[in-house]
Structure 1
């Protein structure tokens, strides 16, 4: 297996950090940050059944 030069390891670490940051920011905005538009549209309609 050929050896990688240090610049390649540096690029590999940089790409990994960038991908990890994008993944973390995406998860924050998808699961933690509650926007008002999505919470209104995701509520199920409440029905009162009269049996």
Structure 2
């Protein structure tokens, strides 16, 4: 049964680590920024009268 050389395991580890870092950074920086709205929202409050 042939075995892989340690340098190939190291190169595979480095390649997959770099791919993981690139993929994670792309996911982290890939978002859309929504500007804050200029109008103020009115909060609708319903009065609750508890009848005990």
TM-score by length of 1: 0.57
Q: Specify which structure has the higher proportion of helix.
A: 1
Residue 26 of structure 1 aligns with which residue?
26
Quote the RMSD (CA, aligned, Å).
1.9
Matches within 5 A, 1:1-51: 2-31=2-31, 34-35=32-33, 39=34
Give the gaps of 5 or more residues in structure 2. Answer: 36-52
Per the TM alignment, residue 8 of structure 1 is displaced from its structure 2 partner at its CA by 0.1
CA distance in 2, matches of 1:4, 1:23: 27
Per the TM alignment, residue 2 of structure 1 is displaced from its structure 2 partner at its CA by 2.5
Larger Rg: 2
